[in-house]
Chains A and B, each alone.
Chain A
Amino acid sequence: MSRTAVMEGSFAVAEAVKACRPEVIAAYPISPQTHIIEELSKYVADNELSSKYVRADSEFSAASIVYGSSGTGARSYTASSSQGLLLMTEVLYAMAGTRLPVVLTGVNRTVSAPITIQPDHQDTMALRDTGVIQIYVENIQEAYATHIQAFKLAEDHDILLPVMVCMDGWILTHTFEPVKIEEQELVDKFLPPFVPKYRLDPKNPLTYGSYGDDEVPEFRYMMHFAMEKAKTKIQLIAEEYKEIFGDYFGGLTEAYKCEDAEIILVAMGSVIGTIKETIDQLRSEGKKVGVLKVRTYRPFPAEEIFEIVKNAKIVAVIDKSISVGQGGQLATDIKAALINKKTPPLVYSCIAGMGGREVNINTVKYIINKSENSLITNQVPDIDYIEIKRQYLE
């Protein structure tokens, strides 16, 4: 039987990872990721989890350790945040390029400077081009389920790419709420032991990451092709999870009250819950509004997004990060998804929630109000910095 108990988001993730029986866990602590790996190290120390746990001397080492262990065919896991994730960057490119299915949690926290521990998406956005699959989750139950699905996805022989589950630091990792923890037997049924396609084996020597002067385009193409295949696989795995456990959180996207919506908000992560709450309030006032949750950011589900927003008049995209010198990454990708379509909706790019600045019901209402005004004037600002404190800029 599954059990439902009140627990912290970090512990729920640790429970999910434990249930997946990783053979190697390597990590270096950083807020707000720490509680996840702390709990996992406790499971190992208490013999609740048979796994090699390595407290590395840096995130670069932690990533390198799971890179190596995954190469030997061991199911491997790590987690980090903020500059810790950035210190892993070089290794993440290598992992994806050598097609090693490490699962990691990207506990979202902004990047210095200025230094703060508050959450936004700046850290994982910096990793979007590594070849690591990125799935952003809305709540703790979804974080739990997505970790279990992540191993199955990463290790699929058609995919073989690292998978990062991105969850907002503090907002999800340090919140306590009821979480359904699944029966180990069912998790084992859903996720059998990892069977590597290739592995480092002294009896059958092979090389990972060898020199390749003229092969780079083909390797990049194959990674991109695997990402494309992941679009179907992610949905199949989400459905299979639903069959076994009864919970479904969407595959690539989740559309909430979008069918007849004239204004659709698009966002990722924990802010979706607050937006849904606002949408329900505005719907009761007769406003035709909806929200589209982008779960899978890489691979980017451009076609699916177009199908959901094609009949809307305006799409307001909330980015909790910025590509300095360009704008919101998600908004840029949404614009790219719509550019060659006939009569696409307007796209209104909003930068909000950076450095943990709260996106609350009033923030969402403000964005919807501006969207309504844009429909009247038929003019959309190129980029809107929501609730920026002008007095700091002088």
Chain B
Amino acid sequence: MKEIRIHGRGGQGSVVTAELFGRAAFQGGKYCQSFPYLGGGGERRGAPVQAFARISDEPIRIRTKIHEPDYIIVKDITLLHIIDVAAGIKPNGMIIVNSEKSADELNFDKSLNVKTVPATKIALEILGFPIMNTALIGAFAAITREFDIEAIKKAISEKFNGEIAEKNILAAQTAYDFVNKGENIYSQKKP
């Protein structure tokens, strides 16, 4: 089982991101479980929020928040100053950050495996607004190979219709290709 924790701010669509992770994993032939943590201010726009997703080859029974994630997604770098986003990360875990800056520039601990992806930039170019969820999922698939781009396309088509679906698929594909070409992707490997 792989566990994903998403850090965002209220209004950025973190719950939908988690849902799309689950849908894409299911389309890729796996079991999934996606859920938000609401409360403690989590329903307010701009407040730090968390959402979670589990992906497994077996049915998933556990129903707790994810304390030791395999993957951590950070949607907003302003959270880095107020939250220990890396808390509990598994020894081989990875952090994927939405940023045009490199992991070095973001001052991550050198022991962490961090990759940055300019997802907001991609979203602004393709969607025209800074909703970077589908770009992040495209980048996630290219980096981790937990599911492929076709599964993401099916997941997006389940959730959205028409032009919104098309543009989001393009955003996911663009981020996916970005990572695969190694362009503009900054990674920080463990020493």
Give me the interface of A with B, judged by CB distance under 8 Å.
5-6, 8, 32, 116-118, 139, 170-171, 174-178, 270-271, 273-274, 276-277, 356, 358-361
Contacts and interface: CB of A to CB of B under 8 A. Distances in A.
B61 A170 contact: no
A6 B32 contact: yes
A6 B38 CA distance: 20
A178 B39 CA distance: 25
Interface of B: 18-19, 22-23, 26, 31-36, 38-39, 60-65, 67, 158
B38 A176 contact: no
A273 B63 contact: yes
B136 to A, nearest CB: 17
B62 A277 contact: yes
A276 B61 contact: yes
B122 to A, nearest CB: 25
Contacts of A174: 35-36, 38
A6 B23 contact: yes
25 contacts: A6-B19, A6-B26, A6-B34, A8-B19, A32-B38, A116-B39, A139-B61, A171-B35, A174-B36, A175-B33, A175-B34, A178-B26, A178-B31, A178-B32, A270-B63, A271-B63, A273-B61, A273-B62, A274-B62, A276-B61, A277-B61, A358-B64, A359-B64, A360-B64, A360-B65
Contacts of A277: 61-62
Nearest to A119: B39
Given A6-B22, A175-B35, A177-B34, 20 more contacts: A117-B38, A117-B39, A170-B35, A170-B38, A175-B33, A177-B22, A177-B31, A177-B32, A273-B61, A273-B63, A274-B62, A274-B63, A274-B64, A276-B61, A356-B39, A358-B64, A360-B64, A360-B65, A361-B62, A361-B64
B61 A176 contact: no
B39 A171 contact: no
Contacts of A8: 19
B32 A176 contact: yes
B165 to A, nearest CB: 16
A358 B65 contact: yes
Nearest to B42: A117
B60 A177 contact: yes
Contacts of A274: 61-64
Contact of A171 (B34, B60, B63): B63
A161 B22 CA distance: 38
Nearest to A272: B61
Nearest to B22: A176
A6 B32 CA distance: 8
A171 B60 CA distance: 13
Contacts of B26: 6, 178
Contacts of B22: 6, 176-177
Contacts of B33: 175-177
Nearest to B53: A176
A6 B60 CA distance: 13
Contacts of A117: 38-39
Which of the listed residues A174, A176, A270, A361 has the most CB atoms from chain B within 10 Å of its own CB?
A176
8 nearest A-B residue pairs (beta carbon): A273-B61, A175-B35, A360-B64, A176-B34, A277-B62, A6-B26, A177-B33, A6-B23
Nearest to B67: A360
Contacts of B31: 177-178
A171 to B, nearest CB: 5
Contact of B35 (A5, A176, A271, A276): A176
A200 B32 CA distance: 47
A8 B35 CA distance: 9
A220 B63 CA distance: 39
Nearest to B18: A176
A362 B156 CA distance: 36
A296 B65 CA distance: 27
A171 B63 CA distance: 7
Contacts of B19: 6, 8, 176
A361 B67 CA distance: 11
